[in-house]
């Protein structure tokens, strides 16, 4: 069974996730750690739980989701993995970080990219890759069918949806990703988003004002 631990990071209040199971292996998803305190909190959790980080995943590559990529690489030797369509999004971060007043340690680049489908395994666990563009051009989500939850990035939020007025955003594509991909998941599926509180697929079908 996969356990999910979240940390709220950086000025954008981004949700960084650590997924781990009984094997002790863990996956870091969308590391947004920005301050020393945020970095220390993540490292302390990994150490005190006796975890071994084996994968660094990005749902997408906007600045708030990659601020900690370099730190995770320096700390654990892990290169990020994301869909190759996000590469222009990542490489553009250096140009806009400074004008935003954000100090950005440049993320390393992947050796291996994620597909638009397929699976990722760690420890005794498997995550399915779901391709869900719209907020960004090649956004992916990670679905744990056995434990019925989704790491959703910036696609679907509690009573909201991802912005599309950002680099690579496309409103029609985002709505299609939600209705044709995420809403095919069970209503009971817990959604852990990139910002804000968790929700469920069933709740958003009924109560999301952007989708009703």
Q: Coil, strand or helix: which one is 44?
A: helix
Q: Does the pLDDT at position 81 exceed 90?
A: yes
- E-state strands within the chain: 3-9, 14-20, 25-29, 52-57, 80-81, 119-122, 125-131, 140-144, 149-153, 156-157, 160-161, 190-193, 199-200
What is the structure's pLDDT at 101?
94
68 neighbors 9 (Cβ within 8 angstroms): yes
What is the average per-residue pLDDT within 164-184?
95
Which one is the CATH code of 3-207: 3.90.1150.10, 1.20.1260.10, 3.60.15.10, 3.30.300.130?
Answer: 3.60.15.10
Residue 94 phi, psi dihedral angles, 5° rounding: -60, -35
Q: What confidence tens digit (pLDDT) does each residue in 27-37 have?
A: 999 999 999 99
DSSP 3-state percent helix, strand, coil across the chain (nearest 5): 30, 30, 40
Q: Specify the pLDDT at position 28.
A: 98
Per DSSP bridges, beta strands 149-153 and 156-157 are unpaired
- List residues bridging with 199 in a β-sheet: 191
User: Which sequence spans correspond to the domains of the chain?
Assistant: 3-207
pLDDT in tens, 124-171: 999 999 999 999 999 999 999 999 999 999 999 999 999 999 888 999
pLDDT digit string, tens, across residues 133-144: 999 999 999 999
């Amino acid at each position: 069974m996969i356990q999910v631990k979240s940390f709220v990071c950086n000025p954008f209040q981004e949700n960084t996730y650590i997924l781990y199971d009984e094997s002790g292996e863990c996956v870091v998803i969308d590391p947004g750690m920005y301050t020393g305190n945020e970095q220390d909190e993540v490292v302390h959790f990994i150490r005190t739980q006796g975890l071994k980080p084996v994968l660094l995943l990005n749902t997408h590559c906007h600045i708030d989701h990659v601020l900690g990529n370099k730190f995770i690489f320096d700390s654990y030797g892990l290169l990020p993995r994301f869909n190759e369509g996000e590469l222009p999004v990542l490489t553009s971060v250096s140009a806009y970080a400074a004008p935003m007043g954000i100090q950005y340690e440049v993320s390393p680049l992947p050796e291996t990219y994620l597909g638009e489908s397929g699976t990722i395994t760690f420890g005794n666990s498997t995550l399915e890759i779901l391709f869900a563009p719209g907020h960004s051009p090649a956004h992916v989500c990670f679905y744990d069918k056995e434990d019925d939850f989704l790491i959703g990035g910036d696609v679907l939020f509690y009573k909201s949806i991802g912005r599309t007025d950002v680099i690579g955003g496309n409103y029609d594509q985002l709505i299609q990703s939600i209705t044709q991909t995420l809403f095919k998941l069970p209503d009971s599926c817990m959604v852990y988003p990139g910002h804000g509180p968790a929700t469920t697929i069933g709740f958003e079908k009924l109560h999301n004002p952007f989708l009703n």
